[in-house]
Structure 1
Amino acid sequence: MALCKGKWIFQTLLGIYKENIQLSYFSTNQVLSSIYRNRLSSTQEKSELDALCSDDRPLEKKPMIPARSEVSTSFTYDPIVQKFINLLLKNGGKEKAREITEGALEHIKMKQIETYHKAKTEAEKAMVVTDPIKIIHGAVENCKPLVVQKSVTKGGTSYRIPVYCHDRRKLRLGINFIIDSCRTKRRRVPIQVLLAAEILQAYNNEGNAVAKKQQLHKECEAQRAFAHYRWK
Protein backbone atom coordinates (compact mmCIF):
# COMPACT_ATOMS: atom_id res chain seq x y z
CA MET A 1 0.00 0.00 0.00
CA ALA A 2 2.84 2.33 0.87
CA LEU A 3 4.55 1.56 -2.44
CA CYS A 4 1.41 2.33 -4.42
CA LYS A 5 0.93 5.60 -2.56
CA GLY A 6 4.56 6.60 -3.12
CA LYS A 7 4.28 5.81 -6.84
CA TRP A 8 1.12 7.92 -7.12
CA ILE A 9 2.83 10.86 -5.39
CA PHE A 10 5.84 10.57 -7.71
CA GLN A 11 3.68 10.57 -10.86
CA THR A 12 1.72 13.58 -9.56
CA LEU A 13 4.90 15.56 -8.88
CA LEU A 14 6.33 14.56 -12.27
CA GLY A 15 3.20 15.85 -14.03
CA ILE A 16 3.38 19.17 -12.16
CA TYR A 17 7.07 19.48 -13.06
CA LYS A 18 6.42 18.92 -16.77
CA GLU A 19 3.62 21.49 -16.81
CA ASN A 20 5.55 24.28 -15.08
CA ILE A 21 9.19 23.69 -16.09
CA GLN A 22 10.24 24.26 -19.71
CA LEU A 23 12.47 21.56 -21.17
CA SER A 24 14.58 24.15 -22.98
CA TYR A 25 14.90 27.89 -22.36
CA PHE A 26 16.90 28.66 -25.52
CA SER A 27 14.73 30.11 -28.24
CA THR A 28 15.18 29.23 -31.90
CA ASN A 29 16.18 32.84 -32.57
CA GLN A 30 19.02 32.83 -30.07
CA VAL A 31 20.46 29.42 -30.92
CA LEU A 32 20.39 29.58 -34.73
CA SER A 33 21.65 33.16 -34.82
CA SER A 34 24.66 32.28 -32.69
CA ILE A 35 25.38 29.21 -34.83
CA TYR A 36 25.17 30.84 -38.25
CA ARG A 37 26.55 34.26 -37.36
CA ASN A 38 30.15 33.06 -37.53
CA ARG A 39 29.67 30.68 -40.45
CA LEU A 40 27.84 32.99 -42.85
CA SER A 41 29.01 36.40 -41.74
CA SER A 42 30.45 37.15 -45.19
CA THR A 43 27.28 36.29 -47.08
CA GLN A 44 24.39 37.29 -44.80
CA GLU A 45 23.70 39.97 -42.24
CA LYS A 46 22.43 39.32 -38.74
CA SER A 47 19.06 40.86 -39.60
CA GLU A 48 18.58 38.32 -42.39
CA LEU A 49 19.40 35.45 -40.05
CA ASP A 50 17.02 36.82 -37.42
CA ALA A 51 14.27 37.02 -40.05
CA LEU A 52 14.69 33.29 -40.72
CA CYS A 53 14.22 32.59 -36.98
CA SER A 54 11.51 35.08 -36.08
CA ASP A 55 9.66 32.79 -33.67
CA ASP A 56 10.52 32.73 -29.98
CA ARG A 57 9.29 29.22 -29.33
CA PRO A 58 11.63 26.93 -27.39
CA LEU A 59 13.43 24.21 -29.23
CA GLU A 60 11.53 20.94 -29.41
CA LYS A 61 13.41 17.96 -28.13
CA LYS A 62 13.12 15.16 -30.68
CA PRO A 63 14.25 11.59 -30.03
CA MET A 64 17.45 10.61 -31.82
CA ILE A 65 16.77 7.45 -33.83
CA PRO A 66 19.90 5.57 -34.95
CA ALA A 67 20.33 4.75 -38.62
CA ARG A 68 19.45 1.28 -39.85
CA SER A 69 22.26 -1.19 -40.32
CA GLU A 70 21.95 -1.19 -44.13
CA VAL A 71 22.04 2.62 -44.49
CA SER A 72 25.35 3.79 -45.89
CA THR A 73 26.95 7.08 -46.90
CA SER A 74 28.52 5.46 -49.95
CA PHE A 75 27.65 6.94 -53.35
CA THR A 76 26.57 3.44 -54.48
CA TYR A 77 23.83 3.28 -51.83
CA ASP A 78 20.32 3.76 -53.21
CA PRO A 79 17.14 3.66 -51.09
CA ILE A 80 15.00 2.27 -53.95
CA VAL A 81 17.38 -0.65 -54.47
CA GLN A 82 17.49 -1.25 -50.71
CA LYS A 83 13.68 -1.30 -50.57
CA PHE A 84 13.73 -3.73 -53.48
CA ILE A 85 16.05 -6.04 -51.52
CA ASN A 86 13.89 -5.87 -48.40
CA LEU A 87 10.71 -6.80 -50.30
CA LEU A 88 12.48 -9.57 -52.21
CA LEU A 89 13.88 -11.46 -49.24
CA LYS A 90 12.17 -14.49 -47.72
CA ASN A 91 12.72 -16.11 -44.33
CA GLY A 92 15.40 -13.59 -43.41
CA GLY A 93 17.71 -14.48 -46.31
CA LYS A 94 18.91 -10.95 -46.97
CA GLU A 95 22.26 -11.97 -48.43
CA LYS A 96 20.46 -14.12 -51.00
CA ALA A 97 18.07 -11.28 -51.83
CA ARG A 98 21.02 -8.91 -52.24
CA GLU A 99 22.76 -11.36 -54.58
CA ILE A 100 19.62 -11.69 -56.69
CA THR A 101 19.16 -7.92 -56.95
CA GLU A 102 22.82 -7.30 -57.81
CA GLY A 103 22.70 -10.08 -60.41
CA ALA A 104 19.59 -8.53 -61.96
CA LEU A 105 21.28 -5.12 -62.14
CA GLU A 106 24.30 -6.74 -63.76
CA HIS A 107 22.11 -8.42 -66.41
CA ILE A 108 20.40 -5.09 -67.09
CA LYS A 109 23.77 -3.41 -67.54
CA MET A 110 25.00 -6.08 -69.97
CA LYS A 111 21.74 -6.03 -71.93
CA GLN A 112 21.74 -2.26 -72.31
CA ILE A 113 25.41 -2.17 -73.35
CA GLU A 114 24.64 -4.81 -75.98
CA THR A 115 21.73 -2.69 -77.22
CA TYR A 116 24.01 0.35 -77.25
CA HIS A 117 26.58 -1.33 -79.49
CA LYS A 118 23.87 -2.62 -81.83
CA ALA A 119 22.57 0.90 -82.44
CA LYS A 120 23.58 2.19 -85.85
CA THR A 121 23.28 5.96 -85.44
CA GLU A 122 24.44 8.32 -82.72
CA ALA A 123 20.87 9.41 -82.07
CA GLU A 124 19.86 5.82 -81.30
CA LYS A 125 22.87 5.38 -79.02
CA ALA A 126 21.96 8.55 -77.14
CA MET A 127 18.49 7.12 -76.42
CA VAL A 128 19.90 3.99 -74.74
CA VAL A 129 20.19 4.26 -70.94
CA THR A 130 23.01 2.09 -69.59
CA ASP A 131 22.73 3.01 -65.90
CA PRO A 132 20.79 0.19 -64.16
CA ILE A 133 19.91 2.45 -61.20
CA LYS A 134 18.09 4.88 -63.51
CA ILE A 135 16.34 1.97 -65.19
CA ILE A 136 15.07 0.48 -61.94
CA HIS A 137 13.90 3.94 -60.82
CA GLY A 138 11.98 4.40 -64.07
CA ALA A 139 10.51 0.89 -63.86
CA VAL A 140 9.23 1.43 -60.31
CA GLU A 141 7.83 4.84 -61.28
CA ASN A 142 5.88 3.28 -64.18
CA CYS A 143 4.43 0.63 -61.86
CA LYS A 144 3.25 2.97 -59.10
CA PRO A 145 -0.58 3.05 -58.88
CA LEU A 146 -2.41 6.31 -58.36
CA VAL A 147 -5.43 4.88 -56.52
CA VAL A 148 -6.16 1.69 -54.59
CA GLN A 149 -9.29 0.02 -53.26
CA LYS A 150 -10.49 0.12 -49.68
CA SER A 151 -13.28 -1.89 -48.05
CA VAL A 152 -16.05 0.17 -46.41
CA THR A 153 -19.19 -1.24 -44.78
CA LYS A 154 -22.42 0.77 -45.15
CA GLY A 155 -25.82 -0.54 -44.13
CA GLY A 156 -24.50 -4.08 -43.63
CA THR A 157 -23.02 -4.17 -47.14
CA SER A 158 -19.30 -4.01 -47.93
CA TYR A 159 -18.15 -1.82 -50.80
CA ARG A 160 -14.74 -1.60 -52.46
CA ILE A 161 -14.17 2.10 -52.98
CA PRO A 162 -11.24 3.85 -54.69
CA VAL A 163 -9.00 5.94 -52.43
CA TYR A 164 -5.84 7.95 -53.00
CA CYS A 165 -2.59 6.00 -52.65
CA HIS A 166 0.14 7.69 -50.58
CA ASP A 167 3.75 7.86 -51.68
CA ARG A 168 5.12 5.15 -49.40
CA ARG A 169 2.41 2.70 -50.41
CA LYS A 170 2.89 3.61 -54.08
CA LEU A 171 6.55 2.64 -53.82
CA ARG A 172 5.77 -0.61 -52.04
CA LEU A 173 3.04 -1.64 -54.49
CA GLY A 174 5.14 -0.72 -57.52
CA ILE A 175 8.03 -2.92 -56.36
CA ASN A 176 5.67 -5.74 -55.35
CA PHE A 177 4.08 -5.73 -58.82
CA ILE A 178 7.51 -6.35 -60.37
CA ILE A 179 8.51 -9.05 -57.87
CA ASP A 180 5.16 -10.88 -58.01
CA SER A 181 5.29 -10.93 -61.81
CA CYS A 182 8.58 -12.85 -61.61
CA ARG A 183 7.43 -15.27 -58.92
CA THR A 184 4.30 -16.33 -60.81
CA LYS A 185 6.31 -17.44 -63.86
CA ARG A 186 7.73 -20.92 -64.31
CA ARG A 187 11.39 -20.56 -63.58
CA ARG A 188 13.33 -22.38 -66.25
CA VAL A 189 15.93 -19.62 -66.09
CA PRO A 190 17.55 -18.04 -63.01
CA ILE A 191 15.47 -15.55 -61.06
CA GLN A 192 18.06 -12.83 -61.80
CA VAL A 193 17.35 -13.05 -65.53
CA LEU A 194 13.58 -12.98 -65.00
CA LEU A 195 13.84 -10.00 -62.69
CA ALA A 196 16.08 -8.11 -65.11
CA ALA A 197 13.69 -8.77 -68.01
CA GLU A 198 10.68 -7.66 -65.96
CA ILE A 199 12.43 -4.45 -64.88
CA LEU A 200 13.35 -3.63 -68.49
CA GLN A 201 9.78 -4.25 -69.63
CA ALA A 202 8.42 -2.06 -66.83
CA TYR A 203 10.93 0.65 -67.78
CA ASN A 204 9.49 0.60 -71.31
CA ASN A 205 5.95 0.73 -69.80
CA GLU A 206 5.25 -2.87 -70.77
CA GLY A 207 5.02 -6.27 -69.09
CA ASN A 208 2.94 -7.93 -66.40
CA ALA A 209 3.80 -5.43 -63.67
CA VAL A 210 2.41 -2.50 -65.66
CA ALA A 211 -0.61 -4.63 -66.60
CA LYS A 212 -1.32 -5.22 -62.90
CA LYS A 213 -1.26 -1.48 -62.25
CA GLN A 214 -3.61 -0.83 -65.16
CA GLN A 215 -5.96 -3.60 -63.97
CA LEU A 216 -6.07 -2.01 -60.52
CA HIS A 217 -6.95 1.34 -62.10
CA LYS A 218 -9.75 -0.29 -64.10
CA GLU A 219 -11.20 -1.88 -60.94
CA CYS A 220 -11.11 1.47 -59.17
CA GLU A 221 -12.77 3.12 -62.16
CA ALA A 222 -15.56 0.54 -62.05
CA GLN A 223 -16.22 1.32 -58.36
CA ARG A 224 -16.15 5.10 -58.66
CA ALA A 225 -19.94 5.30 -58.04
CA PHE A 226 -19.29 4.38 -54.40
CA ALA A 227 -16.38 6.78 -53.86
CA HIS A 228 -18.55 9.17 -51.82
CA TYR A 229 -18.83 6.53 -49.07
CA ARG A 230 -15.32 7.42 -48.03
CA TRP A 231 -16.50 10.71 -46.46
CA LYS A 232 -19.75 9.39 -44.94
Structure 2
Amino acid sequence: MSRKKRYFKNIILNDPKFGSYIISKFINYILNNGKKNKAQNIFYYSLNFFSLKFNKNPIYLFKKVLKNTQPLFELKKKKIGGISYQIPYKITLKRSLMFSMKWIIFFSKKRIENGFKNKLVGELIDSYLGISNTIKKKDEIHKLSEINKAYSNFKL
Protein backbone atom coordinates (compact mmCIF):
# COMPACT_ATOMS: atom_id res chain seq x y z
CA MET A 1 0.00 0.00 0.00
CA SER A 2 1.10 3.49 -0.76
CA ARG A 3 2.02 5.69 2.16
CA LYS A 4 1.59 8.90 0.24
CA LYS A 5 -1.15 11.17 1.47
CA ARG A 6 -3.86 11.75 -1.08
CA TYR A 7 -4.92 15.32 -1.64
CA PHE A 8 -8.43 16.10 -2.70
CA LYS A 9 -9.40 19.29 -4.47
CA ASN A 10 -11.65 21.69 -2.61
CA ILE A 11 -15.06 22.00 -4.19
CA ILE A 12 -15.79 25.59 -5.13
CA LEU A 13 -19.45 26.50 -4.91
CA ASN A 14 -21.12 28.77 -7.44
CA ASP A 15 -21.46 32.40 -6.41
CA PRO A 16 -24.74 33.37 -4.71
CA LYS A 17 -25.78 36.21 -7.03
CA PHE A 18 -25.21 34.84 -10.55
CA GLY A 19 -24.68 31.13 -9.87
CA SER A 20 -21.49 31.06 -11.94
CA TYR A 21 -18.42 28.96 -11.18
CA ILE A 22 -16.09 31.34 -13.04
CA ILE A 23 -17.27 34.35 -11.04
CA SER A 24 -16.80 32.50 -7.73
CA LYS A 25 -13.28 31.55 -8.86
CA PHE A 26 -12.52 35.21 -9.65
CA ILE A 27 -13.85 36.27 -6.24
CA ASN A 28 -11.54 33.72 -4.63
CA TYR A 29 -8.58 35.28 -6.45
CA ILE A 30 -9.59 38.73 -5.15
CA LEU A 31 -9.91 37.29 -1.64
CA ASN A 32 -7.53 38.81 0.90
CA ASN A 33 -7.05 37.55 4.49
CA GLY A 34 -10.16 35.35 4.30
CA LYS A 35 -12.63 38.23 3.89
CA LYS A 36 -14.84 36.70 1.22
CA ASN A 37 -17.82 38.98 1.83
CA LYS A 38 -15.65 42.03 1.22
CA ALA A 39 -14.25 40.46 -1.96
CA GLN A 40 -17.80 39.73 -3.17
CA ASN A 41 -18.87 43.32 -2.51
CA ILE A 42 -15.87 44.63 -4.46
CA PHE A 43 -16.52 42.36 -7.42
CA TYR A 44 -20.30 42.88 -7.57
CA TYR A 45 -19.88 46.66 -7.37
CA SER A 46 -17.32 46.70 -10.15
CA LEU A 47 -19.35 44.30 -12.32
CA ASN A 48 -22.50 46.38 -11.81
CA PHE A 49 -20.71 49.61 -12.74
CA PHE A 50 -19.09 47.87 -15.72
CA SER A 51 -22.45 46.58 -17.00
CA LEU A 52 -24.10 50.01 -16.57
CA LYS A 53 -21.36 51.55 -18.71
CA PHE A 54 -22.15 49.29 -21.69
CA ASN A 55 -25.85 48.49 -20.98
CA LYS A 56 -25.34 44.74 -21.46
CA ASN A 57 -25.59 41.55 -19.42
CA PRO A 58 -22.82 41.57 -16.77
CA ILE A 59 -22.03 37.86 -17.15
CA TYR A 60 -21.69 38.23 -20.93
CA LEU A 61 -19.37 41.22 -20.47
CA PHE A 62 -17.21 39.43 -17.89
CA LYS A 63 -16.87 36.32 -20.06
CA LYS A 64 -15.94 38.54 -23.01
CA VAL A 65 -13.21 40.18 -20.90
CA LEU A 66 -11.85 36.77 -19.89
CA LYS A 67 -11.90 35.59 -23.50
CA ASN A 68 -9.98 38.71 -24.58
CA THR A 69 -7.28 38.17 -21.97
CA GLN A 70 -6.80 34.39 -22.12
CA PRO A 71 -3.38 33.29 -23.37
CA LEU A 72 -3.07 30.30 -25.67
CA PHE A 73 0.58 29.53 -24.96
CA GLU A 74 2.88 29.46 -21.99
CA LEU A 75 6.67 29.70 -21.94
CA LYS A 76 8.72 27.41 -19.75
CA LYS A 77 12.47 27.44 -19.37
CA LYS A 78 14.56 24.37 -20.02
CA LYS A 79 18.29 24.18 -19.71
CA ILE A 80 19.96 22.25 -22.52
CA GLY A 81 23.73 22.16 -22.76
CA GLY A 82 24.22 25.10 -20.42
CA ILE A 83 21.83 27.35 -22.38
CA SER A 84 18.33 28.18 -21.16
CA TYR A 85 15.64 28.00 -23.81
CA GLN A 86 12.13 29.31 -23.47
CA ILE A 87 9.91 26.57 -24.83
CA PRO A 88 6.34 27.48 -25.84
CA TYR A 89 3.53 25.01 -25.38
CA LYS A 90 -0.25 25.13 -25.45
CA ILE A 91 -2.06 25.33 -22.16
CA THR A 92 -5.44 24.06 -21.04
CA LEU A 93 -8.54 26.20 -20.72
CA LYS A 94 -8.45 25.99 -16.93
CA ARG A 95 -4.85 27.22 -16.77
CA SER A 96 -5.47 30.02 -19.27
CA LEU A 97 -8.44 31.20 -17.18
CA MET A 98 -6.22 31.22 -14.12
CA PHE A 99 -3.61 33.37 -15.88
CA SER A 100 -6.29 35.71 -17.19
CA MET A 101 -7.90 36.25 -13.79
CA LYS A 102 -4.59 36.72 -11.98
CA TRP A 103 -3.35 39.22 -14.58
CA ILE A 104 -6.57 41.26 -14.37
CA ILE A 105 -6.24 41.50 -10.58
CA PHE A 106 -2.48 42.19 -10.71
CA PHE A 107 -2.76 44.99 -13.26
CA SER A 108 -5.82 46.49 -11.60
CA LYS A 109 -3.81 46.80 -8.37
CA LYS A 110 -1.15 48.76 -10.28
CA ARG A 111 -3.64 51.32 -11.63
CA ILE A 112 -3.74 54.92 -10.38
CA GLU A 113 -7.46 55.29 -9.47
CA ASN A 114 -8.66 55.52 -5.87
CA GLY A 115 -9.86 52.29 -4.24
CA PHE A 116 -9.65 48.77 -5.56
CA LYS A 117 -13.27 48.84 -6.77
CA ASN A 118 -12.55 51.68 -9.19
CA LYS A 119 -9.26 50.12 -10.25
CA LEU A 120 -11.00 46.84 -11.07
CA VAL A 121 -13.72 48.67 -13.03
CA GLY A 122 -11.09 50.51 -15.03
CA GLU A 123 -9.20 47.33 -15.82
CA LEU A 124 -12.38 45.49 -16.85
CA ILE A 125 -13.42 48.34 -19.16
CA ASP A 126 -9.96 48.56 -20.73
CA SER A 127 -9.83 44.78 -21.18
CA TYR A 128 -13.23 44.80 -22.85
CA LEU A 129 -12.10 47.55 -25.22
CA GLY A 130 -8.75 45.83 -25.86
CA ILE A 131 -6.35 48.46 -24.52
CA SER A 132 -5.44 47.13 -21.05
CA ASN A 133 -2.12 45.95 -19.68
CA THR A 134 -3.45 42.39 -19.40
CA ILE A 135 -3.98 42.23 -23.16
CA LYS A 136 -0.50 43.70 -23.71
CA LYS A 137 0.90 40.94 -21.47
CA LYS A 138 -1.00 38.29 -23.46
CA ASP A 139 0.25 39.70 -26.76
CA GLU A 140 3.81 39.82 -25.40
CA ILE A 141 3.66 36.14 -24.45
CA HIS A 142 2.25 35.25 -27.87
CA LYS A 143 5.06 37.17 -29.60
CA LEU A 144 7.71 35.43 -27.49
CA SER A 145 6.17 32.05 -28.21
CA GLU A 146 6.16 32.88 -31.93
CA ILE A 147 9.84 33.84 -31.75
CA ASN A 148 10.76 30.67 -29.83
CA LYS A 149 8.66 28.38 -31.99
CA ALA A 150 11.85 26.69 -33.23
CA TYR A 151 12.42 25.25 -29.75
CA SER A 152 8.95 23.73 -29.47
CA ASN A 153 10.30 20.29 -30.41
CA PHE A 154 12.12 20.08 -27.05
CA LYS A 155 10.07 18.23 -24.46
CA LEU A 156 9.76 19.33 -20.87
The TM-score normalised by the length of structure 2 is 0.84
Alpha-carbon offset, residue 141 of structure 1: 0.6
Name the SS for the 1:230 alignment partner: coil
Structure 1 stretches of 5 or more lacking a match? Answer: 1-10, 12-64, 114-129
Q: CA RMSD in A?
A: 2.4
Are 1:176 and 2:110 an aligned pair? no
Q: How does 1:31-50 map to 2 (within 5 A)?
A: none
Is it true that 1:147 corresponds to 2:89 in the alignment? no
- What amino acid maps onto 2:105 in structure 1? I
Say if 1:107 and 1:193, in contact at 8 Å, map to a contact too.
no
Aligned to 2:19: 77
Partner residue in 2 for 1:49: none
Q: Does 1:213 align with 2:156?
A: no
The 5 Å alignment of 1:9-88 reads: 68=11, 70-71=13-14, 76-88=18-30
What CA deviation, in whole Å up to 9, does each residue of 1:50-99 have, x standing for no partner? xxxxxxxxxxxxxxx99836336x78211111111011112222222111
Q: Give, in whole Å, the separation in 2 of the partners of 1:82 and 1:158.
A: 38
- Asked if 1:202 corresponds to 2:127, the answer is yes
Aligned position for 1:15:
none
Q: 1:75 to 1:108 in 2, by over 3 A?
A: closer
CA shift for structure 1 position 133: 0.9
Tell me by how many angstroms 1:104 deviates. Answer: 0.6
CA deviations 1:183-224 (Å, max 9, x no partner) are: 1123x4222122122112212222111111001111212222
1:133-164 CA distance string (max 9 Å, x none)? 11000000110001010111212332111011
Q: Which moved more, 1:98-107 or 1:191-200?
A: 191-200
**Matched residues in 2 for 1:220 and 1:104: separation?**
33
**Counterpart in the other structure of 2:4:** none
Q: Which has the higher contact order (CA 8 A, sep 6+)?
A: 2
- Residue 89 of structure 1 corresponds to which residue in structure 2? 31
Higher-Rg member (1/2): 1
1:135 and 1:200 in contact (8 A); partners too? no
- Given that 1:107 and 1:192 are in contact with CA atoms closer than 8 Å, whether structure 2 keeps it comes out as no
Aligned counterparts of 1:189 and 1:135: Cα–Cα separation in 2: 23
Length, aligned pairs only: 150
